[in-house]
Chains A and B, each alone.
Chain A
């Protein structure tokens, strides 16, 4: 698996450069990396709906990747649930994680996919606790992409497509707007950090990708609240146009 191999590499690198403590903190778990990949893929699928018709090949490949991750997470998820049930301490962690998740769901009016984005909760430092919170989230995360997948390429029925697209976008809006801007920022900054650990190449690319995440936040949050990421150099004319089209439909 690509991540396991890289994890070993990262560990070696970190040990040489930073102290042991810092090194341990910097290692992303396989589940975290996989979740990052899933989130990034979902964001990519949503960003497909621009002015020009989305590239179908790209959408299909991303959707297949999402499906692959889903399948693996479902298999792993089941395995994780069984594993944590066997130890008492683990069950305590699960209760804690449930509390956090419920707290976040209480804040939301109609919460559907909240837990999907609740995995990067900073309260959890321990690996196992993080695993169990991710376990709780996998079920809803599995539901989220399937819904989105339905909407990705029904291009031939534009009315229906617009309705579905608007619906799935609404879901994304709800999920994101109900978090505080800090959480959303943390969500994406966490992703960025984990990828910086994954491979520290292409510093030019990293700045570009940071912009990319900024772009997605701009698109999602502009109708609802003023984006906290004001340092993006995205083409504002394009974004205005996109928002116009989305709002009109």
Chain B
């Protein structure tokens, strides 16, 4: 139940939320920067913990509904409180996280412990006043969006209008209004009339960061479809279809499985989008549908091991990817992309210099406050010193979830049970 299943910074980067397999959400808060300690940014400490989802049982199908949190998405802050959406396989919840550091004292009809006073004993009247108290962080569910998904929800994405959001399961995408819980609009439906004909499912979906009528969804066949909600109520016909032709020299029985897209993320400007499939990260220009503009190999040395990875189900692992943060919108192109791999390795690709680096998130191999040592995997042949051979990689240690602070070079990397926060070296 301690297995981390999602990681997400809020819009300011001050808060970092994680969801786990047990349905809990843990929020970390960055300490305010200490003027005297200018060599490091604030640390992240636990701010709030709450149980978001509970396990349920579907009596009709005799199946359990897992409480595992699949995704968390923050709303932009509008007032003192923070809001986030968290979802498991079937139900999305809007949570309000608020601070309480004062409480009223001096009621006329109530004692301090809450018991009601006998009105006849009241001889004078007084006005209650607020007195400071120890900070308390409360999380309360404000909306519950349920019963709209037959299949497992894999994505939620808040629209740039900050009023609506989409939720996507394997076969359908629904559009919700944040205030309305008893209704949602179905905007994509790829369920075939005859389920025996099913060959493709939706794997991820996201709204465009600037255009509130545009969204994309990716599929298990390696395609991305861009849809415009102004075109029709049901966006079954895409406006754009992004697909790279298959490389015939790499064809195998596993070609389709490794082409299945596990994550899709728009760049901050909305001009580009990034997709993650099993072996690579691809950057697409929204103006060019027939191939990506850049492709980065995450762990090409696994290509010859696909059969074993199929056997132990690792080939179905869904890795996420993320852009580096960007202070300036629109004009500034993100320069670095990050994604996870096995053996607690994660990779970063610098789009400008075309350099890449492999780092490891592990307590044994890295002391706190030391610079991470780059790692290298030896695919075949003679293994150099400090290199790790493919055969000794631990495939149970996978980094599926990573997040980048929206403004600073601080990253959050989740191994199976632990969360690591790294920052770049400041001089």
Contacts and interface: CB of A to CB of B under 8 A. Distances in A.
B393 A202 contact: yes
A68 B63 contact: no
Interface stretch (B38-46, B76-84, B139-147, B196-204): B196-204
A58 B391 CA distance: 25
A212 B390 CA distance: 22
A36 to B, nearest CB: 9
A65 to B, nearest CB: 6
Interface in A192-218: 195, 198-206, 208-209, 212
A220 B312 CA distance: 19
A109 interface: no
B63 A208 contact: no
A235 interface: no
Interface residues of A, number: 43
B253 A149 contact: no
Interface string B49-93: 000000000101111111000000000000000000000010000
Contact of B307 (A37, A51, A58, A150): A37
Interface stretch (B227-235, B254-262, B280-288): B254-262
A92 interface: no
Contacts of A58: 313, 316
- Centre residue among A44, A201, A206 by max chain B CB count within 10 A: A201
Interface string B297-322: 00000001111101111101000000
B331 to A, nearest CB: 37
A60 B304 CA distance: 23
Nearest to A60: B201
Contact of A61 (B64, B152, B256): B256
**Interface of chain A, helix or strand or loop or mixed?**
helix
Nearest to A156: B150
B61 A61 contact: no
A155 interface: yes
Contacts of B308: 195, 198-199, 201-202, 205-206, 209
Contact of A57 (B260, B313, B314): B260
A158 B59 CA distance: 10
Contacts of B196: 149-150
B151 A205 contact: no
A209 B152 contact: no
Contacts of A64: 199, 256
- Residue of B203, B260, B306, B311 with highest tally of chain A CB at under 10 A: B311
A34 B198 CA distance: 23
A68 B65 CA distance: 32
A56 B201 CA distance: 8
B170 interface: yes
Given A199-B307, A204-B395, 8 more contacts: A1-B252, A52-B63, A52-B65, A61-B256, A63-B199, A65-B254, A198-B307, A205-B395
Interface of A: 1-2, 6, 34, 37, 40, 44, 51-53, 55-58, 60-61, 63-65, 68-69, 149-150, 153-156, 158, 195, 198-206, 208-209, 212, 245, 249
Interface of B: 58, 60-66, 89, 150-152, 170-171, 195-196, 198-201, 203, 220, 251-254, 256-257, 260, 304-308, 310-314, 316, 390-391, 393-396
19 contacts: A2-B252, A40-B311, A44-B313, A57-B201, A57-B316, A61-B220, A61-B257, A65-B256, A153-B195, A155-B61, A158-B60, A195-B308, A198-B307, A199-B305, A202-B312, A204-B395, A205-B308, A205-B395, A249-B62
Q: Rank and list the top 7 A-B pairs by shortest CB-CB distance, nearest first.
A: A2-B252, A56-B170, A201-B391, A53-B63, A158-B61, A61-B257, A58-B316
